[in-house]
Amino acid sequence: MTLGMGGTFPALVADGLRTERFTLLDVGCSGGIEQQWRVFEPRLRALGIDASEAECRRLAACEANPDIEYLAAFVGRRADKIVDLSAGPAAPLIMRMRDRLSFMRTREIREARLKGASAEEQFRNNAWEMTGLADPAKPVVVPGLLAARGLTDVDYLKIDIDGVDYEILRSFDGRFEPLGLLAVQLEVNFIGSGATDEHTFHNTDRFMRRQGFDLFRLDVRTYSTRALPSRYVWPTPAETLSGRPFQGEAYYARDILGPKGAEWAKQLSAEKLAKLVAVFSAWENPDAAAELLLGLRNRLSTVFDVDAGLDLLAAQTQVGVKRPLSYREYMAKFEADSPDFYRPEGDIPMRERWKAAWNGFWKPRLQR
């Protein structure tokens, strides 16, 4: 499903906004704001922060939205602490581990060419440290930066800097609710020693749950070692088709219909709730979005047509179907225990395996 285009559920929500914006904070914004959030324009407001001055200049030159700003800066928990780059561009644990992986061997093979390549090509090869960087002696503390810019209401937070992500996340301890944050997207690591201050998935998950957020989606990226490289997933050296879980993306949000969410939901406007539903759809979680539509129908109906929204979510669920069923038809089919909800008995043909992988994993990402 192509997000950011007419005829999608996020577009339905965006069209219904009258008084609020969709405000996004992107820490590690190389490559630009994800296209799926452009559906909220002209009500999209965003601040992107990245350590690469070259990338921030490029993004600013291409940006047509006056409400989107790109800031070249390192980030940390203290503004008076110089960022130490002597150990490498990423966290020490990541640096030690990534040197064993096949994508780093490709980087070594390409190193001479990359030094003279454009910043865009360096980013394509995950060599952002080769681009012109911001001053490491002037890091910014993101919550303080938001306050200085008067950004007191933020809908979406993304952190992905291949380094002190967890340290930056902890600078938001106790601040999610005052900011009105709906959802958080985080790069996580599946390696670690067990230390409580390490940038690992288990520490990130504990922190987020202490803030009252639940995990709604988890993408796992595998990386092969240089001892026996696997084929790359993308046209650039990064994750591979096989290998050990190394990094991934974790998507957290408030569970409004859960045991702790009802009181918090009372504090939110109908438009704020509608934006959360749109986020679930953008995350390819149409079931979570539909659950909110049913549970908060009266409030959400002041923003958009809930029945039309349910039909769009049902269509999103029916990946690859040319004439998707309406929500009512789809649910009636499920209640009838239709065989269409099951795989036929017997071994799964290889063609069916590839089709399922394409529809469930590759197709949504390529369409973004």
Higher pLDDT, 131 or 164: 164
The yes-or-no verdict on residue 26 having pLDDT over 90 is: yes
The yes-or-no verdict on residue 1 having pLDDT over 60 is: no
Asked if residue 338 and residue 259 are part of one domain, the reply reads no
Whether 69 is in a domain gets the answer yes
Across residues 106-130, what is the average pLDDT?
73
Per the structure, the count of domains in the chain is 2
Whether 295 is in a domain gets the answer no
Higher pLDDT, 187 or 2: 187
The yes-or-no verdict on residue 358 having pLDDT over 70 is: no
Asked if residue 318 and residue 253 are part of one domain, the reply reads no
Asked if residue 354 and residue 228 are part of one domain, the reply reads no
Lowest mean pLDDT among 42-46, 187-191, 261-265: 261-265
Asked if residue 333 and residue 254 are part of one domain, the reply reads no
Asked if residue 337 and residue 201 are part of one domain, the reply reads no
- Give the CA distances from residue 5 to residues 2, 10, 174, 240, in Å, rounded to whole numbers and listed in that order: 6, 9, 35, 30
At 170-221, the pLDDT tens digits run 999 999 999 999 999 999 999 988 889 899 999 999 999 999 999 999 999 9
The span from the CA of 241 to the CA of 229, in Å, is 10
pLDDT at 2: 36
Asked if residue 313 and residue 236 are part of one domain, the reply reads no
Task: Name the maximum alpha-carbon separation found in the chain.
Answer: 64
pTM: 0.89
Question: Which of 47-61, 131-145, 351-365 has the highest mean predicted lDDT (pLDDT)?
Answer: 47-61
CATH number at residue 262: 3.40.50
Asked if residue 315 and residue 240 are part of one domain, the reply reads no
Last residue of a domain, one of 212, 239, 268: 268
Whether 13 is in a domain gets the answer no
Last residue of a domain, one of 268, 296, 318: 268
Whether 106 is in a domain gets the answer yes
pLDDT at 4: 37
Asked if residue 261 and residue 140 are part of one domain, the reply reads yes
Residue 316: domain span: 307-366
Q: Residue 116's pLDDT band (boundaries 50, 70, 90)?
A: confident
Asked if residue 324 and residue 209 are part of one domain, the reply reads no
Asked if residue 316 and residue 252 are part of one domain, the reply reads no
Strand duo 22-27 + 44-50: pairing:
parallel
Q: What is the dihedral of CA 55, 61, 65, 70, to 10 degrees?
A: 30
Residue 13, classified by CB atoms within 10 Å of its CB into exposed (0-12), middle (13-18) or buried (19+), is: buried
Whether 7 is in a domain gets the answer no
Last residue of a domain, one of 268, 289, 321: 268
Whether 297 is in a domain gets the answer no
Lowest mean pLDDT among 4-13, 59-68, 216-225, 266-275: 4-13
Whether 360 is in a domain gets the answer yes
Asked if residue 262 and residue 312 are part of one domain, the reply reads no
Query: DSSP secondary-structure letter at 361?
Result: I
- Strands of the chain (E only): list them: 22-27, 44-50, 68-72, 156-159, 183-189, 214-223, 244-253
Asked if residue 172 and residue 48 are part of one domain, the reply reads yes
Higher pLDDT, 186 or 93: 186
